[in-house]
Amino acid sequence: MAVALGALLLLGAWLRWQYAQTISLYVDEFTTLWAARRTLEQGAPLMPSGVLYTRGLLATYVTALAGALAGLDYISGRAPSIFFGLATIVAIFAAGRREWNARVGWLAAVGLALLPEAIVWSGRARFYAQLQFFVLLTLWAALWAMDEGRGPRSRRRHLIFAVLFLLALFSQEETVLLYPPIVLAMIVWHGWRYLLQREVWPAQAIILAGMALRFAVEIMGQPGFFETIQAERPYVGLILDVAAAWPAYAGLLVTPERLAWTLPGLLAVGVALRALARSAGRVAAVHHFHRATLFFAGQFTLVLIFILTLVGGQWRETRYLFLVQTCWLLVGAAGMAWLVERLLPRAAWRWAATAALAALLAWLSWAPAHAVLARQVEGYDRVFEFVAGERRPGDVVISPQPPACAFVLGEPCDYYAVQRIYEEFVIPRNGVLVDRWSGAPLLDNAATLAELLRRAPRVWLVTDAFRLATRYENDFQRTVIAQFDPAFTERGVTALLAQGWREPPAYTVVSGLAQPLPFGRLALTGWRATQATAGTALQVELAWQATAPIDTQLNTSLRLIAPDGTTAAQQDGPPAHGIIPTHLFFDAPLPDAKTLALPATLAPGDYRLAVVVYAVDGGTVEAGPLEIGTVSLAAADE
């Protein structure tokens, strides 16, 4: 068994190491790394803005320790998560073996080693792997303490449970969701007076004091943050909208490969409930195998219920269930082991069947597990590294991701550039709103951006297309499209560079359409053009909006049609210079600047403008050519 567990750990380590080495940093990882650097410099995660970074406080110190030992970088920052991820595999095996039997421990360890979200969070510089480890130990210790009667050993067990709970709590405050289910389990096991026993209540007092301290650290360390979150994107509330919340978590439980765990888990719970009914509801009279099933299933179920009914709609993400997924794996493994025991009388046969089940589970899990190694995230690490190499003295760097900017460049961005969904991330300092984590001043309007472009020699804007399309108003977007050029793009993130202010062309023809002109899933809302003169460049700006969801990149082709029907000039290219892809076009019109080089031989007269919209992949025509208007061509000497 030790050899098999060692081989499983090697496989788990390889998957997590591959993720840590090949996948770009998730945006929140930069915050952890920046907080760890501030901790190394100041002894605490005190940010330049004056606030304390309290998320995953213990994890920040663990990351800082890794940085102190090996130098703080992407890999050393992710190393603690790899360690805790592997430690959790060992812990789930040990918990399964002690509370059920070795076969349960082995099957649960196989499931955790190949669980896709475990690979992800064990490869990121965040607190979730550490949280899962301490939560598993906390729950195991709680059951261990409940199984002991009275006396010094019981007191020690409860104190160990309390210490582990606090380690989980200061790894991530979501741990508070565990406390009601654990207390409820103690009451179901022993009655409510059990909490008042001298072996029990000191541990409960320690936990309650720890939760009060954690809340005080939050309130004092980040003034106004909790209140702003609750006002803008509430963490908690009596939501009671299970139908809307369930789809966010259903994929963790009812996809085909997950049913291999969920169905046996339901079987294990059903068998345990039958055993409880036969014992007239006395938990102490139930076999320990079934008591463990009831305890861990109860923890998972109640936390899931809390998440489905209390967590705010904007926080419905699978990562918030990650802390108790070990419970789901253990209960599922218990159901498999119970079924094997009922079907096979001999121990050797049972182990053979368990090995076959483990192989089947590994086969079902391998493709999803391996797929996460190819699922890249936004490449802010790569793009900021490019900017760091290209930046000159006097350059200004702005971004909606100031922690990434601060960590990679070694100092905060000049501005935190964003217009929507920023309220919880800013704090007033000296009459100015600044980013909480880096202290960068907020830049939230197009006029301030234009002023900056006029006075700075070069301005870098580092953002991803999704945020540019959704976190900014239309006038800001239009300024970015008109003034910036893409300098470097990697994994969905672009470094845009503006080198001084560009005066817009002198448009002499302006056509505002009474109704948008449909071009398939795009619609032309208007256009404008400069004076058309033979031998010069004709500048035309089209304005596009989406009329339906777009699932591919669409390009536009602007053509100048001569009176005889021939094409006198043409330019193809993406709307918005490709800075915002068309699948992120919405109702607000975005510009599409085209330059037509007019031959000097063109005769004066009226020329028609026609447009074609087509898909980049395959060239399928979305619509066109459709005429949108005419321009009068002047002679070259006019």
pLDDT (0 to 100) of residue 638: 47
pLDDT above 50 for 619: yes
Q: What are the structural domain ranges in the chain?
A: 148-224, 233-343, 380-498, 509-634
Q: What is the mean pLDDT of residues 499-524?
A: 91
Q: Closest Cα partner for 397 from 379, 407, 384? A: 384
DSSP character string of 439-464: -PBEE-SHHHHHHHHHH-S-EEEEEE
Closest CA to 436 of 225, 269, 270, 248: 225
Phi, psi of 292, rounded to the nearest 5 degrees: -65, -40
For the beta carbon of residue 288, count every other beta carbon within 10 angstroms.
Answer: 12
Burial of 14 by CB count in 10 Å (0-12 exposed, 13-18 middle, 19+ buried)?
exposed
pLDDT at 206 over 60: yes
pLDDT band at 359 (very low <50, low <70, confident <90, very high): very high
Model pLDDT, residue 424: 86
Rounded alpha-carbon distances, angstroms, from residue 139 to 94, 206, 298, 334: 13, 16, 11, 16
Whole-angstrom distance, CA of residue 473 vs CA of residue 444: 9
**Structure confidence at residue 582 as a pLDDT band (50, 70, 90):** very high
202: Cβ contacts below 8 Å, ≥ 6 apart: 155, 158, 159, 162
With a threshold of 0.85, does the pTM exceed it? yes
Q: What gap in Å lies between CA 319 and CA 325, rounded to an integer?
A: 10
At 434 the pLDDT is: 95
22 in Cβ contact with 373 (< 8 Å)? yes
pLDDT of residue 2: 80
93-97, 151-155, 317-321, 477-481: least confident range:
151-155
Q: What is the mean pLDDT of residues 435-440?
A: 94
CB-CB contact of 127 with 335 (8 Å):
no
Banded model confidence at residue 188, pLDDT cuts 50, 70, 90 = very high
- How does the average pLDDT of the chain come out, rounded? 92
Whether the pLDDT of residue 231 is over 70: the answer is no
The b/e string for 573-595 (b: 16+ C-beta within 10 A; e otherwise) is ebbbbbbbbbbbbeebbbbbbbe
User: Angle, to 10 degrees, between the axis of helix 288-310 and the axis of helix 242-250?
Assistant: 120
Per-residue confidence (pLDDT) for residue 438, from 0 to 100 = 94
Better-scored residue on pLDDT, 229 or 598: 598
In 3-state terms, what secondary structure has residue 187?
helix
Q: Convert 43-86 into a string of H (helix), E (strand) and C (coil).
A: CCCECCCCCECCCCHHHHHHHHHHHHHHCCCHHHHHHHHHHHHH
Span 563-581, mean pLDDT?
Answer: 94
For residue 463, pLDDT beyond 80: yes
Given phi > 0 = left and psi -120 to 50 = alpha, else beta, which region is 6?
A: alpha
Model pLDDT, residue 147: 85
Give the residue, 49 or 239, on which the prediction is more confident: 49
CATH 2.60.40.1930, applies to 509-634: yes
pLDDT score recorded for residue 239: 64
Give pLDDT, residue 223: 79
The mean-pLDDT minimum among 87-96, 307-316, 496-505 falls in 307-316
What's the token pair of residue 239?
Answer: 């939501």
